[in-house]
Amino acid sequence: MLNTIGKQLRLAQQLVLVVLLTLAFLPVQLIALWLKLPLRSSLPVVWHKIMCRIMRIKVVVRGQASIARPLLIVSNHVSWSDISVLSSVIPLSFVAKSEVQDWPVFGTLAKLQRT
């Protein structure tokens, strides 16, 4: 029982940290998008790096992405963590089905990352 309570407390702590992180980054990203500042590409990378730490996801990079642009990365999307893992390493924009824009919270986050 204590193990279950500990897991629930950890999950609650993670959720609070994610909400606070998002609320702190949200206005900055909105302004960066509106003013077309270079920060609009790098800020999501920082947000996802912090997200991975909060969720205790260790990202190991082997090799490096091509420096040629434009660059298309094709990946089989396995879980929600894929987005944060990939985005914590390189500035990315994702392609998503049109319904995502109408999803509560996730639609807004997708727009902020230029999905």
What is the tens place of the pLDDT at every residue in 56-95? 999 999 998 888 888 888 887 778 788 889 999 988 888 8
Cβ partners under 8 Å of residue 94, min gap 6: 83, 110, 113, 115
Give which of 104, 89, 105 is closest to 48, Cα–Cα: 89
| Structure token digits, residue 92 | 């990315």
Cβ partners under 8 Å of residue 24, min gap 6: none
Q: What is the mean pLDDT of residues 29-40?
A: 93
- Portion of the chain with pLDDT greater than 70, in percent: 98
Cβ partners under 8 Å of residue 47, min gap 6: 21, 22, 25, 29, 87
Query: What residue has token string 């727009």?
Result: 111
What type of residue is 76? N
Residue pair 111/100 in contact (Cβ under 8 Å)? The answer is no
